[in-house]
Amino acid sequence: MTPLSIELLLYYYYCPTPHPRKEYSAVKCATQQLFDQGLIELDEAAFRFKTTSKGDAHVIQLCKLPLPENAWVDFTGKVIERE
């Protein structure tokens, strides 16, 4: 996923209004990709997109990702020292 796709997915997850940059071609393209992947659906009653259960699960998954850590590793990938 691109940063824009992640931003849009989070927006559609949290916000009950249409996206403020919905007319931009990059936003249209990324929104279509999220739709094609089954992560969002059109809420026709509210004239906006919202996340599907698959999209909800992906947002929860993204929120649970641990932060990256810096580490020195040897040529086999074994951690020698963590910063």
Domains of the chain: 3-71+76-82 (1.10.10)
For range 47-61, the mean pLDDT: 96
For range 7-20, the mean pLDDT: 94
Which one has a higher pLDDT value, 45 or 57? 57
CA distance 2 to 12: 15
Which residues are CB-neighbours of 72 under 8 A, at least 6 positions away?
Answer: 79, 80, 81, 82, 83
Question: What pLDDT is recorded for position 45?
Answer: 86
Confidence label for 4 from pLDDT (cuts 50, 70 and 90): very high
Where would I find the beta strands (DSSP E) of the chain?
40-43, 48-51, 71-73, 79-82
